[in-house]
Amino acid sequence: MLLVAAYCRTNLTLRQLAPLFGVSKSAANRIVSHLGPLLALRPRKRFHKDAVLIVDGTLVPTRDHTVAEQSKNYRYSTNHQVVIDADTRLVVVVGQPLPGNRNDCKAWELSGAKDAVGNTTVIADGGFRGTGLVIPHRREPGQSELPAWKEEHNTSHRKVRARVEHAFARMKTWKILRDCRLKGDGVHHAMSGIAWVHNLSHAR
């Protein structure tokens, strides 16, 4: 587990990492391949009736171009839909990764995140328009400004929604999420494993 954690934290190559643990490169590869999926976060299946969740998508630069596409950052990336509990700030769902050129509206549904949360109240940013989620108020055509009560709602919405951005900031201190070399499901296992570690550290 320490080898896997060091790999994800530092993003050293297995050739660089293996000697630090006194194993061969192939042995290090087998350890990462075997333990990585076992450390992945298990999606929560039940939510309190009054629970409020927050969702947002984040891009992870990924070298496996079979699962990635060029995204708005001009790098080959995967789009990950991450859902946190607004109260505890713990990650509760990590959707399946999609190519980075998919917008959040599509990714929300296709990643499985939508099905995972069921009918629980979920808030999101304006990029999720048309999904039925709670998003900020927008000006209607011909409207110069929003009514004061809508501006007040938007201010409150931004403050709460910022919690998912804080979660991303903490998760991306794990350097593997800045340039993932893993192939196939590896990027999903990395994101899910880091979400699990994030929950452990945040719940202390």
Give domain limits for the chain.
1-38, 43-202
**Cβ contacts of residue 195 below 8 Å, gap of 6+?**
41, 82, 91, 94, 171
Q: Residue 55 to residues 131, 135, 139, 156, 199: CA-CA distances in angstroms?
A: 12, 11, 23, 16, 16
CA distance 8 to 10: 6
In this prediction, residue 204 carries a pLDDT of 65
Nearest to 38 by CA among 197, 183, 198, 199: 197
Q: Measure Cα distances from 43 to 3, 21, 183 in Å.
A: 25, 32, 22
Q: Shortest CA distance to 85 belongs to which of 131, 36, 50, 61?
A: 50
| Environment class of 121 (CB within 10 Å of its CB; exposed 0-12, middle 13-18, buried 19+) | middle
pLDDT in tens for each of the 204 residues of the chain? Answer: 999 999 999 999 999 999 999 999 999 999 999 998 998 898 888 898 899 999 999 999 999 999 999 987 778 999 999 999 999 999 999 999 999 999 999 999 999 999 999 999 999 999 999 999 999 998 888 788 888 999 999 999 999 999 999 999 999 999 999 999 999 999 999 999 999 999 998 876
pLDDT value for 29:
94
pTM of the model: 0.91
Residue 29 contacts by C-beta under 8 Å, 6 or more apart in sequence? 14
- Architecture per CATH, domain 43-202, reads as 2-Layer Sandwich (3.30)
> How far apart, in whole angstroms, are the C-alpha atoms of residue 67 and residue 183?
8
Q: What are phi and psi of 64, to 5 degrees?
A: -80, 100
Say if residues 25 and 14 touch (Cβ distance below 8 Å): yes
